[in-house]
A = this chain, B = another copy of it.
Amino acid sequence: VSATVLYMSVSLDGFIAGPNAGPGNGLGDGGERLHEWLQLRRADLGSGVPGRPAGVNGQLFDEFMATGAVVAGRGTFEPAGGWGGDHHNGVPIWVLSRQPPGIDVSQWPLVSYANDVKRAMTDAKRAAGEKNVLVHGAATAQLALAAGLLDELELHVIPVLLGQGRRMFDNLGPAHIALQRTRMIEGEDGVTHMHYRVAR
């Protein structure tokens, strides 16, 4: 069955970007450390397509590149240059935003801006068919979790304490969200891939 799956690289202390993240600095100061396992450096952000790592880490890369649609936040999509309009394999991309596009997307038929998380997730799931939906971005994940629209989480835990930055989990309510651990993989370079299903 198709699932909406959050894929995020996160420091052990829970940050997905360094401090001062924003336009022109999408990973935040020092945030490229979190993406070294994908061979994604700050200089690559414009082109946007991460590299496939070797070994077990490559298996995870293959997994999220096999998804059938993408739902990402504007804060993820735009600093990455919109992935040139195609994240992978021509699958459709929904960009969650309450504002009009901050970059020119008029030539990118795969890209839709949406301001409603439920609508975006529903449309993406339908478009993905039998495949999973790749969910990306902290704000998007928080909205999807709060709305009960996120099915699974895959966190790539990087062996570093960033100390400061943008947190993966923030702004949630006090209600507990129970999880089931479904898979744990010790990847190369100390990266641990933790997979959970949201219990409902």
Q: List residues of A whose CB falls within 8 A of some B CB.
A: 12-14, 18-19, 29-30, 33, 145, 153, 155, 157, 159-164, 167-169, 172-181, 184, 186, 190, 192, 194, 196
Contact = CB atoms under 8 A, between A and B. Distances in A.
A167 B172 CA distance: 13
Contacts of A186: 181, 184
Contacts of A145: 161
Given A12-B169, A159-B178, 4 more contacts: A13-B14, A13-B168, A145-B161, A160-B179
Nearest to A158: B179
A179 B167 CA distance: 19
B159 A180 contact: yes
Nearest to A30: B176
Contacts of A190: 179-181
A174 B13 contact: no
Contacts of A169: 12-14, 161, 163
8 cross-chain pairs, A with B, having the tightest CB-CB distances, nearest first: A13-B169, A163-B172, A161-B177, A159-B179, A181-B190, A14-B14, A164-B174, A159-B181
A30 B174 contact: yes
A176 B159 contact: no
Contacts of A192: 181, 184, 194
Given A19-B174, A174-B164, A159 B13 contact: no
Nearest to A33: B176
A179 B12 contact: yes
A170 to B, nearest CB: 9
A19 B181 CA distance: 24
A163 B177 contact: yes
Contacts of A176: 30, 33, 160-163
A108 to B, nearest CB: 34
Contact of A175 (B153, B163, B168): B163
